[in-house]
Amino acid sequence: MEFRGVKDILRLLGGIVAFILLVLILDCLVGCGDLLPSLNALTNAGQLLSSQETSNDGLDGLPGVSCWDLDGDFECSEEEDRNGDDFCDALDCQGLQGPPGEAGADGTDGEAGAPGRDGAVGSTGPTGPRGSPGSQGPAGEDGIDSTDDDCAHHPGNSCGNHHHDD
């Protein structure tokens, strides 16, 4: 991460202040009775930094991990820049998961989709039961009387049963 100006320095200072507040809050969670010594230590550290006295340097401490540095690699990644402002700072830190909220109202129905394709033709069903006989039809018209000569030519007719209206 490179500094581009005063704005970046202010963001860094804001991150440091956020870290100090986080330490104080965590200290209070453990026991607020320990809060005053922590404040005194911060005040004493500020007085030492502002004094003109010099002293020997002590050993460097282990580097701390910022609250936004999820994987602890000290590099700002796209996943760690939660608010998308191209900087990883205290604004990208996330607290513990809160309780689930209440269910919202149902949304409006969407538009109807296009009709689907016709389905496959089903198999033929079983044969139904035999129907009852129909009613007697009307009587037919009288036919034309034939002569005996007609019987000789058409032996399959019932020629013996015909009658003449003479």
pLDDT of residue 35: 47
Convert the pLDDT of each residue in 36-66 to its tens digit: 455 555 555 555 444 445 567 778 777 788 8
Where is average pLDDT lowest: 22-36, 42-56, 75-89, 92-106?
Answer: 42-56
Convert the pLDDT of each residue in 126-150 to its tens digit: 999 999 999 998 988 887 776 655 5
Contact 19, 42 (CB under 8 A): no
CA distance 46 to 40: 10
Determine the Cα angle at 31 with ends 27 and 33, to 5°. 100
Name the burial class of residue 54, with classes exposed (0-12), middle (13-18) and buried (19+) by CB atoms within 10 angstroms of its CB: exposed
DSSP 79: T
Domain ranges of the chain: 6-52+66-92
- Nearest CA to 70 out of 88, 45, 52 is that of 88
Is the per-residue pLDDT at 34 higher than 50? no
